[in-house]
Structure 1
Amino acid sequence: MRFVVPPTKIPLEDGTAGSLPVLVLTAAHSRFMLARMLPTRTTEDPLLGSWELIRRLGRVPRRLIWDNEKTGIRRGRRHAEGVDAFMGTLATRLVLLPPNDPESKGVVERRNGWFETSFMPAHSFASPADFDAQPAVLCTKS
């Protein structure tokens, strides 16, 4: 799982426009991809976003591989509060990749690159809900 940021601002419910983080789940072998726009990167939002993506996937992966970035999943050398309980509830394992190690996730990185440079710039989004609806259909076709 990884965060990406849309290249353009999206209209928000309060009448402003912003670039909210997008949580991306990519299955490494099939390259099946799901994405969900989140309000923040604080711990609660990535966990709720992960749950929604896993629910849409229809299965819990044996392990969730996360980029080792500032996601709200890690606090220093430990997992953020609630992360271990979330993983235990799902009976899955959290794997945090080493920083700056693209070789450990090459297929996923290429897929994320397509999402950031081809999918998002080619589409317009009326709201975060509109963004969430479009990748669910389109990201599985390329």
Structure 2
Amino acid sequence: MSERFTKGMARNIYYGGSLFFILLFLGLSFDTVIALSERDNRETLTPAVAEGKAVWEENNCVGCHSIMGEGAYFAPELANVFERRGMGDEAAFKGYLHAWMNAQPTGAPGRRQMPQFNLTDEEIDALAEFLIWTSRIDDNDWPPNVEG
């Protein structure tokens, strides 16, 4: 091998490396698109879930909470709130969410306070449907602890 690093060698490394990483990027992108359809729970998406997502966005819940790691970290992660508070029972979770949302703010000293959003029963039910649907997405066991 030559002891000199020529312009031709540099060009070949540049083009070869670029081609390699472009192909790697395309392969990983393709794999992600295939995997998402198996994990995202889209077949169970209902109008009530979409309405709950709209309630989530209109009230800026992501401004304090995170869901599947996305959002603010001021308040608890809500990706697994259905398992935490509803224990797999949809009716129990909806009852819990109604009681929780209507009791805000709790006024407990030394605790962060969630504002009262004055949501209707239908909006709370829709929000519950959205959180239940979200909890059933395969998110690689996120969050890493039970309490989010």
**After TM superposition, is the score higher than 0.5?**
no
Q: Report the structure, 1 or 2, having the larger helix content.
A: 2
Question: Of the two, which has the highest radius of gyration?
Answer: 2
Query: What TM-score, normalized by structure 1, do the two folds share?
Result: 0.20
- TM-score computed with the length of structure 2 as normaliser: 0.20
